[in-house]
Chain A
């Protein structure tokens, strides 16, 4: 496949630098990979002074609340093996992290794909709980894995489901923050389709579905600024090599087969109705919450971390008093510094 997306024509860069918005504008991206790529390539530094680009709740690890980690550690202490995506093991709960518990003898297995858990569980024969986090990009694969467990009659895997749906969180954001336009998440859009973001247009906010190469990002930002300036509140798909209007129907059906919408707690945003996916009745045997009481006491420790404000686009990470001081990648205080796709981490490494 042609690789010349790596080159952004100078005229496009100049166009962006010299863009005259005519008033201060705030645009938001809601995808962890966008956060990283924008900072890695210094694209935020190309923006004219009157345009501010902030990161929203687009990194699944970052929006996972500390209480979820406390609950996962509780499961570890009940002699379950915890299987998880790597990013989650360093996220601080209120008292510990999965990584520290592992060092102290807890059984934590890091996987790349949820499907790996099936073989792993077959081999150990012990009870395994998979920490099912992610947005719509990840949920179809998790749904398929749950379905496979059921087809194969596997009875030593359970899922602790905190999978999330992006739209309800964006609805909260647009009600509470003045966002003039959105750079829309490319990989979530492969699943849900660009038309899922029509609710933005209905709220007079334009959006552009963007890919991940520098040219994708620069051209998408430029398109977004032009839409805002001309008052043209539509959704444009600028990642049509991977995304279509209605999304991946097979993947959507997989989600519907296994999950149902439920409440979900987001770091910084709190509980949001219908913003999470819960395992439905048919697959209930695979839901750890159905067989284990996870209502452990909530003991929130105030660390001073301001991830919640970062995720709402209220502050940039350098405005957090702990940034680069007590909080750094070796000693992350909050998940936005843990995840490579977190805003604090992107600002730390690339500025």
Chain B
């Protein structure tokens, strides 16, 4: 029930907007996030965008793990 899905904002109309991922489109409320922009990736849960996602890639996680000597 706490499922959150990463989706991209493709349209904004006032305090709500349309998000999309893999061809699925949803109307969501954008009131809980700061300064939503078309093109932003957000986590969507139960009809609300609950946080913006930074476009940080797996590579960074891997670099971090290397720094901490988890992997060589």
Contacts and interface: CB of A to CB of B under 8 A. Distances in A.
B38 interface: no
A87 interface: yes
- Secondary structure class of chain B's binding surface, majority of residues: loop
A2 B6 CA distance: 12
Given A61-B1, A254-B32, A5 B51 contact: no
Given A9-B71, A215-B61, A59 B53 contact: no
Contact of A5 (B3, B58, B70, B72): B58
Interface in A103-154: 112-116, 133-135, 137-138, 140-141, 144
Interface string B41-57: 10101111011011111
Nearest to B72: A11
Interface stretch (A216-224, A313-321, A323-331): A216-224
Interface residues of A, number: 56
A220 to B, nearest CB: 10
Size band of the interface chain B makes with A: 20 to 34
Contact of A216 (B29, B34, B41, B61): B61
A63 to B, nearest CB: 11
A187 B56 CA distance: 17
Given A4-B58, A137-B50, A188-B2, 9 more contacts: A11-B71, A33-B4, A60-B1, A113-B46, A116-B47, A144-B29, A185-B2, A186-B4, A248-B32
Interface of A: 1-2, 4-5, 7, 9, 11-12, 15, 31-33, 58-61, 85, 87, 112-116, 133-135, 137-138, 140-141, 144, 185-188, 190-191, 212-213, 215-216, 219, 222-223, 226, 238, 240-243, 248, 250-251, 254, 339, 341
18 contacts: A2-B57, A9-B71, A12-B65, A33-B3, A87-B1, A113-B28, A113-B46, A115-B29, A133-B1, A141-B50, A215-B58, A222-B65, A223-B68, A226-B70, A241-B56, A248-B51, A250-B31, A339-B1
